[in-house]
Structure 1
Amino acid sequence: MNFQKVAAVIVTYNRKELLQQALDSIKNQTYKVNQIFVVNNNSNDGTKEYLDSLEDIVVIHMKENLGGAGGFHYGVKAAAESANDFIWIMDDDAIASAEALSELMKASNKLNDDKISWGFLCSKVMNDLKEPMNLPVISKKISESGYPRWSKYIENSIVEVDKSTFVSVLVKKEIVRKLGLPIKEMFIWGDDTEYTWRISNKYPCFFVGNSQIIHRRMNGKSLSIILEDSAVRLPWYSLLIRNNTYNFKKHGNRLETLKYFLINILLCLKILIKAKDRKIYRVWIQLKGMMKSFTFNPKIKFPD
C-alpha cells in the first residue's frame, strides 16, 4: 500500500470521555494517522484542559459553540491547508476499529487501480450492539448497461453511495480545494448530507463495508420532532427542515424538493395528533424551518 498522509478531523462539545475514546482509537490505527485536528466548540466540561494537555494533536478552540457544521468547516479548512493528502472526518463519539482507516485506504487503492477518480469513502457505522446506524444513501447513478451501478465492487465490500454522515468520511484534500468547505451556517443536522451530496454530484463515492466504526451516540434513535423530549434539541428541528430543504433545492430536483415540502406540511398534522406535549410549539418549529428555507442560501467558502 502506497503511504499517503491522512489528517483526522474531530469536532467536540462537552463529551470529554467519549472524545478520549475516539482519539485513542485514531491513534491506534494500523494505518497511522499523520496529524489530528480537534475543534473544541467552547466546551465547559474540562475538554479544553484535557486537549491542552496533549502534545500530539492540533487543537482549535472556538470562542462559542458553532455547532457541528461550524466546527467541521474550520477543522476541514485547517486540514486542507496542511501538508496532508486525505482528510478523515470523524465524530467525537465515533470509535474506529484498528483497521478502519487501513480498509479505507485499501479501497482507495483498489479504485485508483481501476482509474476511478473517487470523491469520498465512508465507513460502516454500528452501535455497541452491532446494529446499523447512520446508513449512507445508495447511489442511483446508472451504468452504461442501463442498470444501477452501485454493486460494481460488491465483492470487495465496496458500494457506491451518494450521501453519508460525518461519523467517518475520508475525502481527498484536492476535492476539498476544488469543491469548498462544509457550510458553517447550517449549524447542525444536514451539513454532512449537503457536503457529501455536493461531492457525489461531481465524483463517484463509496461505502466501504470492511471499515467499521462504533458510534456511541448518547441518543441512538433517528430524529423525530414528534418524539423529541430534549428542550435543547427541539428548536434545532427548524434548522433540520431549513437545511434539508436547501439540500434538495441545491443538489436534488424540483420534484424531490416539492415532495419534502409536502411531507413537512403533513408532519404538522401528525404532530397535532401524535405528540404528547407542546404540540403548538412543535408545529411552530416546523413552520419556522419551512419559512427560513425560502431565504437560506449560504455562500460556499474555500480553504486558503
Structure 2
Amino acid sequence: MSITDSVYAVVVTFNRVDLLKRTLKFLEAQTKPLDKIIIVNNASTDATHGFLKEYCTSDLYAVYHLGENLGGAGGFSYGMRQAVIDTPDWIWIMDDDAFAAPDCLFKLLTANTKAEVRIPIQIDDTGRRYGLYADNGGLREQAIQASGLQKACSFTFVGPLFSRRLVEKIGLPRADFFIGADDLEYAARIRGKGFEVVAIIDATISHMYGQGPQPFSRWGRKSLRTPIPAWKAYYSTRNGLAVDLIYSSGFEKFILAIRHVVKSVRAMPGEIFYEPEGFKKAKYRIMGLIDGILGRFGKRVIPNRILSRK
C-alpha cells in the first residue's frame, strides 16, 4: 500500500444541493489528495445542475447528469463503472450527506492491512459512532469505541474504499435494487468471494443517520416510531428479503422467507394504527414480499405512483 496510490471518489446526489456542497468541500480538504471526484447527479430537480455546471470546472471533477433517477444503487453502479474505466488503484464511494474527516482517506489508505475493502466509522449529529456490524446485523458498540482495525461482516455505502481489482473481480453494485440493501448485497458478494473487509476505527466520516424516533399518538395512545416513507418500505422489504434468498440455499431459503413475512406482518398493525401512510405502507410491504420471493427487481415503486407490475 502506498500513499501515492490513485483514488477516485464517487458521490451520488439527488436534490440535496446544500449538502452536496459540504460533501465536496470535505473531499477537497483531504490530506491525501484525490485524483478525481466523480459526481452522479440522479436527475435532480433542484439547483444541483446549475451548481455543478458552475462549480466543477477543474480536471478534478467528472460530472454525469442522469436522464432519470436510478436510485442510490443505480447511481453507485453507474459512477463506479465510470471510475473503473480510468483504472485508479482505489474507488471511494459515498452519498451527498457524508462529510469525511480531513485525514479519513489517508488513514484508510495507510492502515496496516492488505484488505481490499476498508470502511470508516460513521459519526451522527449527536456524536454517536456507528457503522461496524456483527454477523447478526447488530452494532459492535465496544469495538467501535476502540482504535486500530476491526474485521467487519457488512457495511453501508458511506465511505467504503474498494480496490479496483476487487471491483473488477466481483462486479458493480446491483443497479436493479434501486434503493435499499444494495450495500448489504455487495458486502455479501464480497464475502462470498473471500475478500476481507476491515473497519479502520480511527478513520471517521460524519453522516446524517436519518430521522430518529418520533412521537406518534392516536386515540389517547402514544408510540415512539422511526417512520420511513411508504414507498421506501417496499424496497427495504423486497431487497432485504432478496439478499437473504440469494445468499442461502435449500430449506434455509424457506425459513428466511417466513422470517421476513413474520417481521413485516408484525410491523403492519403499529404502522396502520399510528402512521398517516400506514395502510399504504402495509400494501407496499406485501408487494415487496411478493416481488422479493419472485425475484422481480428494478424501479417498480416511486413516490406516489406504482410502475408497471409486468
TM-score normalized with structure 1 length: 0.82
Residue 180 of structure 2: SS of its match in structure 1? coil
1:122–1:170 contact (8 Å) kept in structure 2: yes
Q: CA deviation at 1:139?
A: 5.4
Tell me what 1:166 maps to. 157
Q: Report if aligned partners of 1:9, 1:89 keep a CA contact under 8 Å in 2.
A: yes
Instruction: Note the C-alpha offset of 1:136.
Output: 3.2
Measured against aligned partners, the alpha-carbon deviations of 1:133-192 in whole angstroms (never above 9, x if no partner) come to 4x232359xxxxxxxxxx8xx986211112100011000111111110011111101111
* RMSD of aligned residue pairs (Cα, Å): 2.6
Partner of 1:41: 42
1:163 match: secondary structure:
coil
1:239 equivalenced with 2:235 (yes/no) = yes
The alpha carbon displacement at 1:241 in A equals: 1.3
Residue 134 of structure 2: aligned partner: 138
* Among candidates 206, 221, 226, match of residue 214 of structure 1: 206
Give the corresponding residue for 2:25.
24
The aligned counterpart of 1:147 is none
Once the two structures are superposed, residues 197-229 of structure 1 have per-residue CA deviations (whole angstroms, 9 ceiling, x without a partner) of: 21122211111111101103553569xxx9465
Q: In the alignment, is residue 121 of structure 1 matched against residue 118 of structure 2?
A: yes
Question: Does the 8 Å contact 1:139/1:160 carry over to 2?
Answer: no
Distance (whole Å) between structure 1 residues aligned to residue 92 and residue 231 of structure 2:
30
Task: Report matched runs for 1:146-295 at 5 Å.
Answer: 157-202=148-193, 203-217=195-209, 219=211, 227=225, 233-252=229-248, 255=252, 258-259=255-256, 261-273=258-270, 275-277=273-275, 278-295=277-294
- Classify 1:139/1:288 alpha carbon distance in 2 versus 1 (closer, same or farther; 3 Å): closer
**Matched residues, number:** 274
User: Kindly tell me: are residues 78 and 130 of structure 1, through their superposed partners in 2, closer, same or farther at Cα, counting changes over 3 Å?
Assistant: same
- Identical amino acids, percent of aligned pairs: 26
Deviates more, 1:275-284 or 1:233-242: 275-284
C-alpha deviation, 1:83, in angstroms:
3.2
- Looking at both structures, which has the greater relative contact order when contacts are Cα pairs under 8 Å and sequence separation is at least 6? 1
Match of 1:111 in 2: 113
Partner SS, residue 121 of structure 2: strand
> Structure 1's 192 and 290: CA in aligned 2 closer, same or farther, altered over 3 A?
same
Q: Tell me the residue number matched to 1:148.
A: none
From 35, 54, 57, give the equivalent of 1:55: 57
1:3, distance to aligned residue in structure 2 (A):
1.1
Secondary structure of the structure 2 residue equivalent to 1:48: helix
| Range with greater deviation from structure 2 (28-37 or 265-274) | 265-274
Alignment partners' CA distance in 1, 2:159 and 2:13: 14
Instruction: Measure how far apart 1:97 and its partner are.
Output: 0.3
Q: How far off its partner does 1:66 sit?
A: 0.8
Code of the residue aligned with 1:173 in structure 2: it is: R
In structure 1, what is the Cα distance between the partners aligned to 2:212 and 2:103?
Answer: 24
Q: Tell me whether 1:10 sits opposite 2:11 in the alignment.
A: yes
| AA of the residue aligned to 1:66 | L
The code of the aligned residue for 1:268 comes to V
> What do the CA deviations read for 1:19-62 (whole angstroms, capped 9, x no partner)?
01101101110011110000000111110111112123100100
Give the SS at the match of 2:274: coil
Counterparts of 2:178 and 2:213 in 1: how far apart (Å)?
Answer: 20
1:240: Cα distance to partner?
Answer: 1.2
Change (3 A) 1:269 1:197: closer
Letter in 1 for 2:188: W
| 8 A Cα contact 1:126 1:214, kept in partner | yes
In 2, Cα distance between equivalents of 1:290 and 1:122 = 31
Is residue 89–residue 168 contact of structure 1 (8 Å, CA) maintained in 2? yes
Give the TM-score normalised by the residue count of structure 2: 0.80
Long gaps (5+) in structure 2: 137-142, 215-223, 299-310
